[in-house]
Chains A and B, each alone.
Chain A
Amino acid sequence: MTGNTPLHLGVALDGAGWHPAAWRQADARPKELFSPRYWADLVTEAEAGLLDLVTIEDALNLQSDEFAEQDARADRVRGRLDAVLIAARVAPLTRHIGLVPTVIATHTEPFHISKAIATLDYAATGRAGVRVQVAARNDTAKHFGRREFPPIDLARINEPEVQQLVADHFDEAADYVQVLRRLWDSWEDDAEIRDVATGRFVDRDKLHYIDFDGRWFSVKGPSITPRPPQGQPLVAALGHADIPYRLIGRAADLGFVTPHDAEQAADLVARIDEQRHTAGRQDEKIHVWADLVVVLDDTEQAARDRLAALDELAGTEYTSDAKIFTGTPAQLADLLVQWQAQGLSGYRLRPATLPHDLQRITRGLVPELQRRGLFRTEYPQSGTLRGLLELDRPANRYVRA
């Protein structure tokens, strides 16, 4: 059945690529990682490949090979630019592709981020999204000096008190998304009236206090920025367990998951679907996409050799939360089709190196999928990111029926 359903594709951009030795590839541009041209080129390439969206990774700490703390390595890419601002910088240079920067809910202000994403939606004429992430590391918290978090011990992750801490982080993120969404709706679409006769610029009955009062923050509203073009920009989140799946089920339009085979894919789709029902969103659609790290070349052997060479340069074998795919674009297409049958609606591909693997996606995988009738051959004339993902423009929660 699903074999002929077109699938959705996004690319996850991060530094020189996801492999720690990516910056040492011959075509890498390691000196330009902090230049606007580098990011414009990558997003333009993704748009040339008709992709649905790019995500841009971010964090409020330096990259680290260690999960729970800062490493001290000088042989890896360290340093990054603010993802929302990268997205804004490329917005006027692109016309069709969705722009989904990462924001860290734990340490930022939902009021600021709500207007930032609304503004990105204006600058990108309806193509903004936001990927919400939490930050549990205590060294990151010390950059803000307002909260203390206990050390993260992966060996104790399943103990009740650790689970409670994790749940707190994700519950705070759910509150955060709730505030983003209420603020986006805090202006009705036709609030700006410019009525010369009465001298009124806005109809203040169409502006709404959101009066959010939660455990971590309270926000009065309304936003200072009018409702963005999409009404509700796309909200995305990545999850690896039931607690984050609950966030996806409650708050997201798009969930990223990391299955390693078709069976796991089916299971994750079901678990998010269950969370969606529990959250009372029976009538709403949530896209579930699988994340895959991709190492793509003209032959499977070439891809394996390249990964081996990268591992050699990095001094360690690359491991990831997501499955690492090595092979040809046609082999990847086979896998995408096979997993899609389990209920996934798309994929977020993490290029192992940039621009190499991005170009193999846009110039190899995409034509392959098009030949199979599984991917668009052009963008719709004028469209929004929600439109690309077949999501309606939602009604405003504050409009009285």
Chain B
Amino acid sequence: MTKQIHLAAHFPGVNNTTVWSDPAAGSHVEFDSFRRFAQIAERGKFDFLFLAEGLRLREQKGQIYDLDVVGRPDTFTVLAALAGVTQRLGLTGTINSTFNEPYEVARQFASLDHLSEGRAAWNVVTSWDQFTGENFRRGGYLAQGDRYERARTFLRTTTELFDSWNGVEILADQEQGRFLDTDRPGTFRHQDRFFDIEGQFNVPRSPQGRPVIFQAGDSEEGREFAASGADAIFSRYATRKEGKAFYDDVKGRLPKYGRERDDLLILPAASFVLGDTDAEAEELAHQVRRAQVSPQTAINFIEQLWNTDLSGFDVDGPLPSFDPVVEGEAIAKGRASVRQLAKDPIALANEWRDKAEVEKLSARDLVIEVTGRQTFVGSASTIAETINQFVQEDVSDGFILVPHITPDGLGPFVDTVVPLLQERGVFRTDYEGTTLRDHLGLKYPGDPQA
């Protein structure tokens, strides 16, 4: 059977994906950028828009990191405003389960779902670091081992809150004077070692019952967490081999939770560079990568692995000959890449040195190679063909596209690739339902009190 492709638009976050030096690059904060971005995605009949989150400005060597886009709006607020200027596009927000409380997050998502008439989704992430905690009441540190346990229990608690109304309480019977069919709506009680809460939830059940739940974690625990209850995974594996392996692994975990294959969608993040011809696109892609990795960005990237100050380092020469510093605090804070780099810095440094020697790459070229390769590079027909192949071969169920130009970078994709996918009959020509669950083909949660 031919699978239908799901497409989403990731508003670029605060990393070096965005080529902010490009003359076409606009604001990452003004609402008009978000409006334009969302309306382009909706013109392309995309499933949803996706927003990442970071709750403290990133730092390197004790100073605010200044080379990438810095600054972004509040996720809930911008999604609610976008609900007013779009009609069908799903609205997915990344919201941290560590620096929030279940009652408040549940009412924000339930409110967003009401205000968008059923288009809300929550990408559940956890963080644990004291660095971010310094901005919040709870502050501090969550032990690594507690991260998923707390995230799981946070999600379970919010689910209980979403389910505390069954959706039929409101009678609004003006004649009889009965607004509700119950005098204790939204009653809940939850006790475990993380949360001890009880009372009445104050938002009636929203159009989707609960928001669509995304999960982004990649560890063994993260995969299990997703398989047990998430509706979709925001994955990082967009290449054929890695994507397929991840897809098979996670989908294979579903049966033990009594779930079917289509109950969980795998949607990797993907970038693209379009050209009139494949050759032109390749050339353009190289230019974009060089723009994304300026000499200073390359130094900072190498510093993150070597965990040492490399000011004045010549990036047009070879990588440092000495080994990375393994001990001590990370010099880069508040960013995801640090954790990946930190697993075995010396082995990774050796790998990079070997690659640079074989391929005759300068330090900067090496960084461009290991960080930058776009997922899809080519003409519109090449990209449409590749995306369709990937989805039909179960590399993924679709892609979450992040353009390198904000806010209009998605326009060419929508205008040239989407029509080709529609011609092939693998992507919708119009929205068939009204909610995000409809777009994604997900079941609605049943009556919680039935």
A binds B: yes
A interface residues, Cβ below 8 angstroms from B:
23-24, 28, 30-31, 34-36, 39-40, 59-62, 70, 72-82, 84-86, 88-93, 107-109, 111-112, 115-116, 118-120, 122-123, 125, 139-140, 142-146, 187, 192, 194, 196, 198-204, 207, 216-222, 224-226, 313
Task: Find out whether the CB atom of B183 lies under 8 angstroms from the CB atom of A200.
Answer: no
Task: Find out whether the CB atom of B80 lies under 8 angstroms from the CB atom of A88.
Answer: yes
Task: Find out whether the CB atom of A207 lies under 8 angstroms from the CB atom of B200.
Answer: no
Task: Find out whether the CB atom of B199 lies under 8 angstroms from the CB atom of A204.
Answer: no
Distance, CA A72 to CA B184, complexed state (A): 6
CB distance from B243 to the nearest CB of A (A): 31
Residues of B within 8 A of A220 (CB): 56, 134-135
CB distance from A87 to the nearest CB of B (A): 8
B57 interfacial contact with A, CB 8 Å: yes
Residues of A within 8 A of B30 (CB): 122
Q: Chain A: which residue is nearest B198 at the CB level?
A: A142
Task: Find out whether the CB atom of A144 lies under 8 angstroms from the CB atom of B20.
Answer: no
Task: Find out whether the CB atom of A78 lies under 8 angstroms from the CB atom of B179.
Answer: yes
Residues of A within 8 A of B180 (CB): 74, 78
Distance, CA A219 to CA B68, complexed state (A): 24
Stretch in B102-110, B244-252, B265-273, B305-313 touching the partner: B102-110
A-B Cβ contacts below 8 A, count: 225
Beyond the given A30-B174, A75-B179, could you list 7 further A-B residue pairs with CB under 8 A, ordered by the A residue number? A74-B179, A84-B80, A85-B115, A88-B76, A88-B77, A91-B81, A139-B199
Residues of B within 8 A of A218 (CB): 134, 139
- With A145-B195, A207-B57 already in contact, the answer to whether A62 and B74 are too (CB < 8 A) is no
B83 interfacial contact with A, CB 8 Å: yes
Residues of B within 8 A of A122 (CB): 29-31, 73
Interface string of B290-331 (1 = CB under 8 A from A): 000011110000000000000000000000000000000000
Task: Find out whether the CB atom of B68 lies under 8 angstroms from the CB atom of A28.
Answer: no
B403 interfacial contact with A, CB 8 Å: no
Distance, CA A349 to CA B78, complexed state (A): 29
Task: Find out whether the CB atom of A222 lies under 8 angstroms from the CB atom of B74.
Answer: no
- With A24-B177, A85-B76, A204-B64 already in contact, the answer to whether A123 and B81 are too (CB < 8 A) is yes
Q: Chain B: which residue is nearest A37 at the CB level?
A: B117
- With A36-B83, A92-B35, A115-B73 already in contact, the answer to whether A200 and B67 are too (CB < 8 A) is yes
Task: Find out whether the CB atom of A194 lies under 8 angstroms from the CB atom of B21.
Answer: yes
**6 cross-chain pairs, A with B, having the tightest CB-CB distances, nearest first:** A30-B172, A88-B80, A220-B134, A82-B111, A119-B77, A119-B73
Distance, CA A201 to CA B29, complexed state (A): 13
Task: Find out whether the CB atom of B116 lies under 8 angstroms from the CB atom of A36.
Answer: yes
Interface string of B174-217 (1 = CB under 8 A from A): 10011111111110000000011111101110000000000000
The residue that B21 contacts in the complex, of A89, A123, A187, A196, with Cβ under 8 A, is A196
CB distance from A213 to the nearest CB of B (A): 10
Task: Find out whether the CB atom of B84 lies under 8 angstroms from the CB atom of A219.
Answer: no
Among B100, B137, B185, max chain A CB count under 10 A is at B137
Tell me the residues in window 80-98 of chain B with beta carbons closer than 8 Å to chain A beta carbons: 80-81, 83-85
Residues of A within 8 A of B83 (CB): 36, 89
Residues of A within 8 A of B139 (CB): 218
Residues of B within 8 A of A222 (CB): 57, 64
The residue that B66 contacts in the complex, of A72, A90, A200, A217, with Cβ under 8 A, is A200
- With A81-B203, A226-B71 already in contact, the answer to whether A92 and B31 are too (CB < 8 A) is yes
Residues of A within 8 A of B197 (CB): 142-145
- With A77-B179, A200-B67 already in contact, the answer to whether A85 and B108 are too (CB < 8 A) is yes
Q: Chain A: which residue is nearest B112 at the CB level?
A: A85
B136 interfacial contact with A, CB 8 Å: yes
Task: Find out whether the CB atom of B174 lies under 8 angstroms from the CB atom of A62.
Answer: no
The residue that B111 contacts in the complex, of A81, A139, A194, with Cβ under 8 A, is A81
Task: Find out whether the CB atom of B84 lies under 8 angstroms from the CB atom of A23.
Answer: no
Task: Find out whether the CB atom of A88 lies under 8 angstroms from the CB atom of B199.
Answer: no
- With A142-B198, A199-B296 already in contact, the answer to whether A224 and B57 are too (CB < 8 A) is yes
CB distance from B140 to the nearest CB of A (A): 11
Residues of A within 8 A of B178 (CB): 74-75
Distance, CA A108 to CA B296, complexed state (A): 39
Interface string of B32-47 (1 = CB under 8 A from A): 0001000000000000
Distance, CA A84 to CA B104, complexed state (A): 12
7 contacts between A and B (CB under 8 A): A36-B114, A36-B116, A61-B200, A74-B182, A80-B202, A85-B76, A115-B74
CB distance from B435 to the nearest CB of A (A): 14
B398 interfacial contact with A, CB 8 Å: no
B54 interfacial contact with A, CB 8 Å: yes
CB distance from B27 to the nearest CB of A (A): 9
B101 interfacial contact with A, CB 8 Å: yes
B277 interfacial contact with A, CB 8 Å: no
Residues of A within 8 A of B182 (CB): 74
The residue that B101 contacts in the complex, of A30, A36, A144, with Cβ under 8 A, is A144
B99 interfacial contact with A, CB 8 Å: yes
Q: Chain A: which residue is nearest B300 at the CB level?
A: A199
CB distance from A284 to the nearest CB of B (A): 27
Among B21, B77, B179, B199, max chain A CB count under 10 A is at B77
Task: Find out whether the CB atom of A89 lies under 8 angstroms from the CB atom of B115.
Answer: yes
CB distance from B201 to the nearest CB of A (A): 8
Residues of B within 8 A of A35 (CB): 114, 117
- With A80-B203, A201-B66, A219-B135 already in contact, the answer to whether A88 and B174 are too (CB < 8 A) is no
Residues of A within 8 A of B184 (CB): 72
B70 interfacial contact with A, CB 8 Å: yes
